[in-house]
Chain A
């Protein structure tokens, strides 16, 4: 089986899985875990978008 993820889909899957683990392992209470997981996910995706646009401007 071969998966043909786009760059963004690959980043999305990676961010989601990594954020879940970070949320569970780095915080103590359930609410803190959810908040930290969302925080990490936001930074992952935000970083991808910023890097993507930066490369687009560099290419021009």
Chain B
């Protein structure tokens, strides 16, 4: 197990380094001029050559690329993550202020997706091709096709139309005012949760159908265990392993999906900050936020891999 952990950690460190290089290449080296990104094409043409040079020097953009990369790494190591071009807030402050809300949304959506997806999969797998199974499969196919942010917009409209209710737009912490916090978080979490539940129900259904055919499940049934206990005690634990892995991969879906969904709900989380960074062409905030999102994604998958290895000895001895 220890050798597996060390290997996986070393691999994670390599990935983090690779990710940082990709972010740097995309944001700094690609042919787009950062000043065009900052000022817009019209604003850029209005700048004189001297102004352009002074802006470039001030932002540290005229240094050699390797120096720029090292400066960026230094900023990250010092914990400040650099500054927004338009706001006084540093990216680190932004992460601390807005991060918890998005983390809450993500966690709640994962919980919702399991609470909805797994029972649906069990009902589906116990009676394949029955009425319930067909409805469940149709719904999961539908939810894979619906853009989450659009569902969010529809939910807001429907709540407003029928109940005259609009979720609060404030950033309150869970500890301060749990009720208001829940109202902010529940909408985005529901939309993202249903999107994931569709994938999870599909995966868990096919995993269960495969496991149910195994010999040990037949043995359990033959010794007289009731169908429900066979599923709960024998089939489900093994069928859940691929679902756990999928849940980790789906974190990408949640992290990325939370950006348009938070925009639809006007939730003051990190996803909304990413949206603002794009619309304000704030290259530096974008660079750091993209990096943070990718790191979170890599870390979660590393933890999931380690969990799976802990649960399933076959993995760690490969």
Co-complex (A, B): no
> Residues of B with Cβ closer than 8 Å to A?
none
